[in-house]
Amino acid sequence: MTTGRLEAFSDGVFAVAITLLVLDIRPPADVRDGTELWRRLGDLWPHYAAYVVSFLVIGIVWVNHHAVLELIREVDRQFAFLNLLLLMSVALIPFATAVLADYLSSGGGPAHTAAAAYSAVISLMGVAFGGLWIYASRGGRLLVEGFPHDELPRITRRFVVGTPIYLTTIGVAFLSAGVCLGMHALLATYYALSRRGGGMARPAGLPR
């Protein structure tokens, strides 16, 4: 399988998943006046918060996935199956986001469980992405010719550093669903704003 074919299929899954996020935000019905509409739009804040965080998470993983495919020369069967595991977790994010948004403002057990389930899905995505990169890079198995191996530890750290934090948020969810979502937001913001985040920059010396 060529990297182009795998990338095209993956991009389709990412595009569908990121689009499905907004479909859970439904406009209020049976509104009598503008004041009530504003109030009911404000009541949807859990949906807005969950949407923004999940949009960032999926978007950043898409960018990093593109970076990985730029650094490999070919795709083998094992890599393709690991990629499917990653896409499976990405496809679950809209569902997990909807559950979290529905229960975030309720507090108590339902909110904690919803946040833990959300964190579990994000953690699965992190594990799958890290496994994808480690498989491709170990011993230079699938890396492009001329890859500067002195850059490998840095890129690997940036690709996998989020996974332990994602796993930690599962426990945090049972203490506070809001703090749990906030941790996901901070981690997503860190990756989005980091100049060298996730190894997204093409390593120096690598031929184009």
- Which residues, in sequence order, are bridge partners of residue 143? 72
- Based on the structure, what is the number of domains in the chain? 1
Whether residue 135 has pLDDT greater than 50: yes
Structure tokens at 112: 């904690």
Segment 47-98, tens digit of pLDDT: 999 999 999 999 999 999 999 999 999 899 999 999 999 999 999 999 999 9
CB 69 within 8 A of CB 6: yes
Residues contacting residue 49 through CB under 8 Å, at least 6 positions apart: 101, 104, 181
Instruction: For residue 143, report the phi and psi dihedrals to the nearest 5 degrees.
Output: -70, 150
In-domain check, residue 142: yes
| Alpha helix positions (H), 71-176 | 77-103, 108-137, 152-160, 162-173
In-domain check, residue 205: no
Which range is least confidently modeled, 1-15, 83-97, 170-184? 1-15
Q: State how far the Cα of 124 lies from the Cα of 93, in Å rounded to an integer.
A: 10
Segment 161-173, tens digit of pLDDT: 888 999 999 999 9
Percentage of the chain with pLDDT > 70?
93
In-domain check, residue 64: yes
In-domain check, residue 132: yes
Residue 28: alpha-carbon gap to chain centroid? 29
Q: State how far the Cα of 200 lies from the Cα of 137, in Å rounded to an integer.
A: 15
pLDDT at residue number 16: 98
Q: Residue 26 belongs to what domain range? A: 3-199
What's this model's pTM, rounded to 2 decimal places? 0.87
Q: What is the mean pLDDT of residues 21-44?
A: 89
pLDDT at residue number 200: 45
